[in-house]
Amino acid sequence: MPDHTSRPVPKPDIYVPTQPFWQGAREGRLMLQYCRDTGRFQHHPRPVSIHNGRRNIEWREVSGNGFIYAFTVLRVPGPGIGGRLPLRIALVELDEKVRILGNVFGKEEDSPQIGRRVALAWDHLDGGIPYPAFRLVAEQEAAGATP
């Protein structure tokens, strides 16, 4: 039986080198792959730029600010969920024009909607390992002057 109560920490560097993502998380920074040739981000990480097929890629910090592109509430158990059902999952489009899947923190009555602004928050896997997530940004905060 799969363990549905824990939140195991994945092994990095299995598919492609990903240490900068995990090191950034430890420092509270969201690091994503960036194609230096085309000036575009991509996520999940790849062995080449999906934009031009070259390997002129680096890891860059992103703001973590963006909006909800798509949203769901998962209600069925599975590995890695760690007793968090119902679980709020969003596909977030960051201001850097790249999308990332993340869980959404916030009060239960504050239902996330497509287009709603979010900001980076930090979730924790087993052993306190930080993992990127998002929090809903208050309407006035989103409408106000840029920080």
Partner 1 sequence: MTRPEIVITGYAETKVAFRSGRSAYDIAGEVLADLLDRYGLEKADIDGLSVTLALSEASNPFFAVYMADALGLTPTWLNAGGIGGCSASGGVARACSAIRDGMCRIAVVLSADAPSTAWRSDYGAYRSEFQDPVGVQGPPAAFGLLMNRYDHQYGLDPEALGKIAITQRSHSLQNPNALDKFRKPLTMDEYLSSRMIADPLRVLDCVMFCDGGNAFLVMSETEARARGFGTYVRPAAYAEVTNYAGDQSCPDMTESGFWRIAPEVYRQSGLRPSEIAMFQPYDDFTIAVLMQMEAFGFCGRGEGSAFVRDTDLSVRGSLPLNTGGGQISAGQPGLASGGLNLAEAVRQLFGEAGERQIDAPRNALVTGIGTIPYGRNWGTSAAMILEV
Q: Which stretch binds partner 1 (CB under 8 A): 6-14, 54-62, 139-147?
A: 6-14
Strand-pairing partners, residue 107, are none
| Per rule CB under 8 A, count of chain residues that contact partner 1 | 47
- 121 is an interface residue for partner 1 by CB under 8 A: no
Please state the closest distance from residue 145 (CB atom) to partner 1, in A: 26
Q: What is the dihedral of CA 30, 31, 35, 40, to 10 degrees?
A: 0
Cα separation, 118 vs 134, whole angstroms: 6
Figure out which of the listed residues 11, 39, 109, 127 binds partner 1, where binding follows CB under 8 A. 11
Residues from 39 through 98 that contact partner 1 (CB under 8 A)? 40-45, 50-51, 69-76, 78-81, 84, 87, 89-91, 93, 97-98
Q: What is the dihedral of CA 32, 35, 39, 42, to 10 degrees?
A: -40
> Phi and psi (nearest 5°) for 137?
-90, 130
Of 91 and 119, nearer to partner 1 (C-beta) is 91
